[in-house]
Structure formats: structure tokens, C-alpha cells
Amino acid sequence: MVLIFCDTDKKPYEQYVDIKRKISEFHGVENAADHVVIYGNPCTMQIIIEHWDDVVLGSHKKKKNAPIIFNLTGIEGYKGRADQRQELFSRITKENYQEMQERIKCLPSDDEVEGSTNIEV
């Protein structure tokens, strides 16, 4: 099984929509991409941040999200560097993973809606 994680961050979502179209065309099945593409709108950080709180990110921009990430994790000036990602992921625990699972269930699953995802954990 191959799962593809995509951000829907580039309005009007041309790259994301194109990836989905190509996957479905390749397999010759309408909506095949809906079974292999896991998305976060506006970005995968929308899924990750749910480990700590119910937050709807309005942007994929790290500079805009850095204060939110700091408030929830204590990581200053988040820019997505490898060391910051490692620190962020090291803060995921069994307990907050379970909390994230519950929060994710409440998010919309329409890929055109900010703060949505189709990940099923």
C-alpha cells in the first residue's frame, strides 16, 4: 500500500488537484486518489498540531504558524528545520496521540475547507 501525504496549501490548489487527477488516471479508476491521498488543509501541520489542541490553521506559512506552535509546544521560531521537526515529533506521546485521534474525528473531511483532513487514525 502506498499513501501519499499532501498539503492543499497552494490556492487554488492546482498542484494538489493535479496530483489527485494523475493518480486516478494512472489507475484508470475515477476517484482512485481518494483512497491513497491523505491530505491536510492547509498543510500537514494541521494534523500534527491536533496532538496538543483543537486548532484550525489558516495558512501553510511557517512564520504565521510559528507562534501557535510555540504556544503549544514551546518550540521557538518554528521554520520546519530538521532539528525543529525532530523536537516537535519527540513531543508526541501515547497520551496526546490518543487526544489527536479524537480531535481528528471532529475535523471536516472536505479538502476545500480550511482545517480539514481525511486522515483516519
User: Would you state the pLDDT for residue 78?
Assistant: 97
Residue recorded with cell 497520551: 95
Scanning the chain, the segments in alpha helix (DSSP H) are: 14-27, 45-49, 62-73, 82-90, 94-106
Domain boundaries, the chain: 4-113
Write down the pLDDT at residue 38: 84
For 80-105, how does the pLDDT look when each residue is reduced to its tens digit (9 = 90+)? 999 999 999 999 999 999 999 999 99
Q: Which residues of 17-51 are buried (b: 16+ CB within 10 A; e: fewer)?
A: bebbeebbeeeeeeeebeeebebbbbbbbbbbbbb
Segments of the chain scoring below 70 in pLDDT: 1-3, 10-13, 121
pLDDT, position 10:
63
